[in-house]
Structure formats: structure tokens, C-alpha cells
């Protein structure tokens, strides 16, 4: 089981959290201006990298708040966690 | 026999006579089952990934479409990915017409596969029973039964006593969620997963397909017109007119080499087996609600499927609390198994689509085809998927069976929303 560092509550076991998928996917400001392909990309396509992945987690059985994390999807090691609204930390993109 | 000598030897057909002859020779003269060639400079078709789906596609390309200048390129060893890691369950009791057609195509191929390949894949139609534990399950499974039967797929409803009669080891009453009934597909069952990869490899190699193991694809080269030119590999550049990606959990990684973003996320899915015991469980039993599925292998191990982890990962491990949760359910479902010791557990990486249905399709890149998104339930579809993927590559157009399983369905809103795809909560 992973130990996850909630930026609001500190380190807690994984079962207190709910996974929220890839982070930093902003809803388009003007959806009707998008082509079907761009809307599909927003809705369905995901980076799914083998390596560093910026992702959302929710501390559902704690503070209940969403936050972001950068995790290595090969080792499941959490590089860092940070509050929603903060920019993605400058961590080098993973190699394949 | 030296490997290069084996490469020249003609394929031996398996038969009662061959078995007798080799028995008299002390089983010292069985040849190699497939060649182990060095890659050529150019192929008509390169398949990326030598799992059951990829090897099967190469087999059907050669057998049904006469395309034999084919290579199957594999990073590890053939059948070493999800083909060798799954719980070997076969069934076709899917709700929607599109899915029923695809999976039923596969079950029909399973029924004759050992004869077709001259290789025993040990398909065992022992029946797959899906348990209902609450009112919603009962309503949902009855709907599945009706839908399946309209599609010509066998499925029948059993009440609680019928469930107990079909599978006596089950505890149907003294549990948190008692068993109210179940949907039974008698033609469902299991097969020997390794034999499927080996049988397709043998059949494809015999027809001229090169299977190249320990060869990692590191890039997909595209020409000025956007079409594929070949694959960069750890053993050099291999030119290819067409490329079929059949890379399961690593599909996003491979497709990104061609600049194609995929509607996929990769998750670890775990399974485990018990110590081997005498025959004690003669069917396949699955439960969505308490999340467990179990069957007994021919070696005697109880084969148990757990769930996916909550987060995307390529770690091939998965959290222990996921397997613990499944074992809780198994112990309640079959109390006599409480004293079984678990021998091994492992994880595989499964690629999951937003609608839990696969993608077998052309891509926006000319000459690039993809077979992916099988999520937690790809084994059952191996021959059917390979068969229609080969058709798609050979004709540069999908077979009617896989036409709905396109990439464009996400753009156009024609999702095939099989939330029950693995019969367990995803």
C-alpha cells in the first residue's frame, strides 16, 4: 500500500484516498469553439506515460480535498505532492 | 539439437502416431516448435507484441489472407505479458450487440482452435457462472440473459438452489450478501493460456512468419506523407509497409512513437494461485458484487482474479490490499478454501478505455493499425480479436465485426459502454 503525503494533512495510507486521473487538464474556456477532434482529446485521450505522471488525488477519508501529485508510474514512487492551483513542479519528463 | 538445425527441420504434426513414435524414442526427438530468426530488412507487415493477440493476428494474416512476409516483434519473450498472466476465462455473455458479436466470434473460434492449430490449447467448456447477490444483480443478469439469447449467445438463469446444484462448494446463504441466483454460460470456460501463444506462434512460424523476441521497438518512423516506413528497434531499423500494434498495457507508449494520442489508461491487474489440490471446483465462478472470480487449473491450483489498483501504473505489481479484498470474498464464497495457502501472486498491466470496450482499428496514421483497450478481459477474445485484426490489416478496412470498435467512436459518440466487461467492478 502506498503512503501518500496529503499537502493539507500529511502522510496517510493509500486507502484514505481516491484517485482522480491525469492532472492539469483544464476544461476549454469556450467548448463550442472546439472541433470534434479537440473535444475528443479533452474528454477521452490521456497521456498515460511510462514515467513521471502529474495526477489528481482526493483525500476522501480525510480532509476531502483534491490535490496534485507527481508519481513515477514505473516504481509508483511519489516525487512530490502539491496543492490544487499550483503549477506543475519542474520535474523532467520521463524517458520511456 | 542445435537451434539453427532446428530452424531447418520441418514442423512435426502432433498426432497419436507421432506421440507413439516419439515415446518409443524416449521423447528425445521432438523438434523446436518455431524458428528463431534474425530480423530481415523489410516486411510487408510488422506486428508489435508477441502475445496471443499479436501472434494470432500474424497466424491469420498468413492463413486467411496469404500474407506471410510478416514479423512479430517482442520486447521480452513470446506470451510473457498479459497472455501469461491472466486467469484464462472464456465467455461471450456481453450485453450489447456489438460486443456479443465480437466475443461470440471468439468463442466459436475457441471451439475449433486446437484442431485448427494442431496444438492442444486445452479449451474446457466447463461453464462460467456469474453470481447475483442483490436485487440489482438479479435484474441486471436477467437482462443480460435475455439480450444474449436474442444474439444467439447461450446464457441461462439459475435460482439459488440451481446455483448450489451446479456448484456445490459454494456457500449460498450464510454470508453478508447471500447468493440469490446466477447467470450461467455453459459454453464458457477456460483454456491453457501459454498453449494459446505457443500454438499461434508455431502455426505462424510454420507459415513463414518471423517471430523476433528480445527486440524492443524504440520508435516508429513515418515518411513525408505521414505513412509508416518502419520501426526502430533495439536490433536496428526494420522497414514495414504496415504496422499492427498489439502491445496491451504499453499501447500508449508505442503509439506515442507515431505521435498518436490514445483514449487509454494503464492499470495493474492482479491474480493469484493457491497451492495445488485435488479436483474440487469444476466450473468458473465470478461475482461482481463481492469482487471475486475463481476456477481450478488442470495442475490443481485455484486460480483467483483480483481487481485493478485505483491508479495508473506500469509497475506489474499492485497493492496487497487489493488481493486481500478478493481473498476475503473467496473465503466467504467457498468456506472450505479458507485453509488453502496462496502460492504466488502477480500483476499485469492492462490498458483500459473510457467505455471498457476494445479498439481494433485503423488509426489516423496511414499503415498503422491498433488492437488494444482489452482492459481486464482480453484473453477470452484472443482468437476472435486476432482474426478480425488480421482482416483489418490485410484489407486496410475493418471486418464488420470490429467496425464498431473504432477510434472514431469516441469522437462520434458511439461508445460501447460495457461496464460489466470483466464482470467485476473496474
Question: Which residues, in sequence order, are CB contacts of B69 under 8 Å at separation 6+?
Answer: B43, B44, B45, B208
Predicted local confidence at residue A93, as pLDDT: 55
Report whether pLDDT(A92) > 70.
no
Q: Kindly report, residue by residue over B300-323, the tens digit of the pLDDT.
A: 999 999 999 999 999 998 999 999
Question: Which of A29-33, B29-33, B119-123, B349-353 comes out lowest in average pLDDT?
Answer: B29-33
The neighbour count for residue B68, using CB atoms within 10 Å, is 17
Residues of chain A with C-beta less than 8 angstroms from the C-beta of B218: 96
Rounded-to-integer distance, Cα B378 and Cα B90, Å: 9
Cα distance from A40 to chain B (closest Cα, Å)?
Answer: 5
Predicted confidence band of residue B8 (pLDDT cuts 50, 70, 90): low
User: Which member of B253, B351, B410 has the closest CB to residue A40?
Assistant: B410
Residue spans of alpha helices (H) in chain A: 36-43
Stated as kind and residue range, the H or E segment containing B189 is strand B189-190
Report whether pLDDT(B203) > 50.
yes
Rounded-to-integer distance, Cα B295 and Cα B423, Å: 15
Percent of chain B at pLDDT above 70? 96
Question: Which of A52-66, B163-177, B412-426 comes out lowest in average pLDDT?
Answer: B412-426
- The DSSP 8-state label assigned to residue B319 in this structure reads -
HSE of A29, CA atoms in CB hemisphere, 13 A: 0
Q: Kindly report, residue by residue over B99-118, the tens digit of the pLDDT.
A: 999 999 999 999 999 999 99
Predicted confidence band of residue B9 (pLDDT cuts 50, 70, 90): low
Q: Kindly report, residue by residue over A2-29, the tens digit of the pLDDT.
A: 999 999 999 999 999 999 999 999 999 9
Predicted local confidence at residue B185, as pLDDT: 98
Rounded-to-integer distance, Cα B1 and Cα B324, Å: 46
Residues of chain A with C-beta less than 8 angstroms from the C-beta of B320: 1
Residues of chain B with C-beta less than 8 angstroms from the C-beta of A47: 252, 261
Cell, residue B370: 491498433
Report whether pLDDT(B357) > 60.
yes
Rounded-to-integer distance, Cα B325 and Cα B175, Å: 15
Predicted confidence band of residue B125 (pLDDT cuts 50, 70, 90): very high
**Rounded mean pLDDT of B46-65?**
98
pTM score, whole prediction:
0.95
Cell, residue B367: 499503415
Helices H / strands E in chain A, number of each: 1, 6
CB contact under 8 A, B315 and A47: no
Cα distance from A78 to chain B (closest Cα, Å)?
Answer: 12
Block residue for cell numbers 476465462: B89
- Burial degree of B416 (CB within 10 A; 0-12, 13-18, 19+): buried
Report whether pLDDT(B3) > 50.
no
Predicted confidence band of residue B10 (pLDDT cuts 50, 70, 90): low
The neighbour count for residue B152, using CB atoms within 10 Å, is 10
User: Which member of A41, A74, A96 has the closest CB to residue B261?
Assistant: A41
Report whether pLDDT(A66) > 80.
yes
Question: Which residues, in sequence order, are CB contacts of B292 under 8 Å at separation 6+?
Answer: B286, B304, B305, B326, B329, B330, B333
Q: Which is it for the CA torsion B232, B238, B239, B245, positive or negative?
A: negative
Cα distance from B4 to chain A (closest Cα, Å)?
Answer: 34
Stated as kind and residue range, the H or E segment containing B103 is helix B97-117
The neighbour count for residue B116, using CB atoms within 10 Å, is 15
- The DSSP 8-state label assigned to residue B290 in this structure reads T
Percent of chain B at pLDDT above 90? 91
Query: Which residues of A, range 38-67, sit inside 8 Å of B by Cβ?
Result: 39-41, 43-50, 53, 55
Query: Which residues of A, range 1-20, sit inside 8 Å of B by Cβ?
Result: 1-2, 14-15, 17-19
Residues of chain A with C-beta less than 8 angstroms from the C-beta of B253: 48-50, 96
Rounded-to-integer distance, Cα B324 and Cα B321, Å: 5
Rounded-to-integer distance, Cα B329 and Cα B346, Å: 18
Predicted local confidence at residue B11, as pLDDT: 77
Cell, residue B198: 505457443
Predicted local confidence at residue B4, as pLDDT: 47
Q: Kindly report, residue by residue over B239-263, the tens digit of the pLDDT.
A: 999 999 999 999 999 999 999 999 9
Report whether pLDDT(B267) > 90.
yes
Rounded-to-integer distance, Cα B147 and Cα B133, Å: 20
Closest CA to B269 of B74, B82, B53: B82
- Which residue on chain A is closest to B218 by alpha carbon? A96
The DSSP bridge partners found for residue B272 are B304, B345
Predicted local confidence at residue B29, as pLDDT: 86
Q: Which domains does chain A have, with CATH numbers?
A: 3-83 (3.30.2270.10)
- The DSSP 8-state label assigned to residue B41 in this structure reads S
Contact B194/B120 with Cβ under 8 angstroms? no
Contact B130/B145 with Cβ under 8 angstroms? no
Predicted local confidence at residue B425, as pLDDT: 47
End-to-end CA distance of chain A, in Å? Answer: 25
Predicted local confidence at residue A91, as pLDDT: 76
Amino acid at each position: 500500500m502506498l503512503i501518500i503525503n496529503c499537502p493539507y494533512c500529511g502522510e496517510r495510507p493509500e486507502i484514505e484516498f481516491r484517485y482522480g486521473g491525469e492532472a492539469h487538464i483544464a476544461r476549454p474556456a469556450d467548448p463550442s469553439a472546439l472541433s470534434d477532434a479537440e473535444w475528443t482529446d479533452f474528454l477521452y485521450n490521456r497521456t498515460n506515460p511510462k514515467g513521471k505522471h502529474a495526477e489528481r488525488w482526493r483525500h476522501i477519508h480525510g480532509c476531502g480535498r483534491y490535490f496534485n501529485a507527481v508519481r513515477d508510474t514505473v516504481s509508483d514512487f511519489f516525487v512530490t505532492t502539491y496543492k490544487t492551483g499550483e503549477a506543475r513542479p519542474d520535474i523532467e519528463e520521463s524517458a520511456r | 539439437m542445435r537451434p539453427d538445425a532446428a530452424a531447418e527441420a520441418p514442423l512435426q504434426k502432433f498426432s497419436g502416431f507421432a506421440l507413439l513414435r516419439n515415446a518409443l524414442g524416449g521423447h528425445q526427438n521432438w523438434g523446436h516448435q518455431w524458428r528463431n530468426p534474425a530480423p530481415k530488412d523489410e516486411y510487408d507487415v510488422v506486428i508489435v507484441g508477441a502475445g496471443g493477440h499479436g501472434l494470432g493476428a500474424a497466424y491469420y494474416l498468413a492463413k486467411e489472407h496469404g500474407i506471410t512476409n510478416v514479423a512479430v516483434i517482442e520486447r521480452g519473450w513470446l506470451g510473457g505479458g498479459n497472455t501469461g498472466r491472466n486467469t484464462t476465462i472464456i465467455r461471450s455473455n456481453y450485453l450489447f450487440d456489438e460486443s456479443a458479436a465480437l466475443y461470440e466470434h471468439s468463442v466459436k473460434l475457441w471451439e475449433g482452435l486446437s484442431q485448427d492449430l494442431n496444438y492442444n490449447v486445452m479449451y474446457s467448456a466447463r461453464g462460467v457462472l456469474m453470481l447475483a447477490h442483490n436485487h440489482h444483480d438479479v435484474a441486471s443478469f436477467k437482462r443480460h440473459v435475455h439480450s444474449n439469447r436474442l444474439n444467439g449467445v447461450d446464457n441461462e438463469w439459475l435460482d439459488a438452489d440451481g446455483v448450489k446444484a451446479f456448484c456445490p462448494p459454494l456457500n449460498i446463504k450464510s454470508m453478508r450478501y447471500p447468493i440469490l441466483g446466477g447467470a450461467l454460460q455453459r459454453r464458457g470456460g477456460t483454456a491453457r493460456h501459454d498453449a494459446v501463444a505457443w500454438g499461434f506462434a508455431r502455426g505462424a512460424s510454420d507459415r513463414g512468419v518471423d517471430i523476433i523476441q528480445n527486440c524492443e521497438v524504440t520508435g516508429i518512423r513515418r515518411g513525408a506523407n505521414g505513412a509508416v516506413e518502419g520501426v526502430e528497434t533495439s536490433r536496428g531499423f526494420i522497414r514495414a509497409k504496415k504496422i499492427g500494434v498489439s502491445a496491451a498495457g504499453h499501447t500508449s507508449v508505442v503509439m506515442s512513437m507515431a505521435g498518436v494520442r490514445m483514449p487509454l489508461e494503464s492499470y495493474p491487474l492482479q491474480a493469484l494461485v493457491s497451492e495445488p489440490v485435488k479436483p474440487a471446483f469444476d466450473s468458473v465462478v465470478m461475482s461482481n458484487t463481492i469482487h471475486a472470480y475463481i476456477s481450478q487449473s488442470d495442475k490443481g491450483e485455484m486460480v483467483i482474479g483480483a481487481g485493478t489498483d485505483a491508479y495508473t501504473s506500469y509497475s506489474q505489481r499492485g497493492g496487497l490490499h487489493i488481493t486481500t479484498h478478493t481473498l476475503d470474498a473467496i473465503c466467504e464464497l467457498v468456506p472450505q478454501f479458507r485453509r488453502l495457502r496462496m502460492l504466488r501472486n502477480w500483476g499485469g498491466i492492462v490498458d483500459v478505455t473510457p467505455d471498457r470496450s476494445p479498439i481494433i482499428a485503423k488509426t489516423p496514421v496511414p499503415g498503422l493499425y491498433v488492437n488494444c483497450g482489452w482492459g481486464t478481459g482480453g484473453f477470452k477474445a484472443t482468437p476472435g480479436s486476432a482474426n478480425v485484426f488480421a482482416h483489418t490489416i490485410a484489407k486496410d478496412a475493418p471486418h464488420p465485426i470490429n467496425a464498431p470498435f473504432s477510434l472514431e467512436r469516441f469522437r462520434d459518440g458511439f461508445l460501447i459502454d460495457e461496464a460489466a466487461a470483466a464482470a467485476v467492478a473496474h
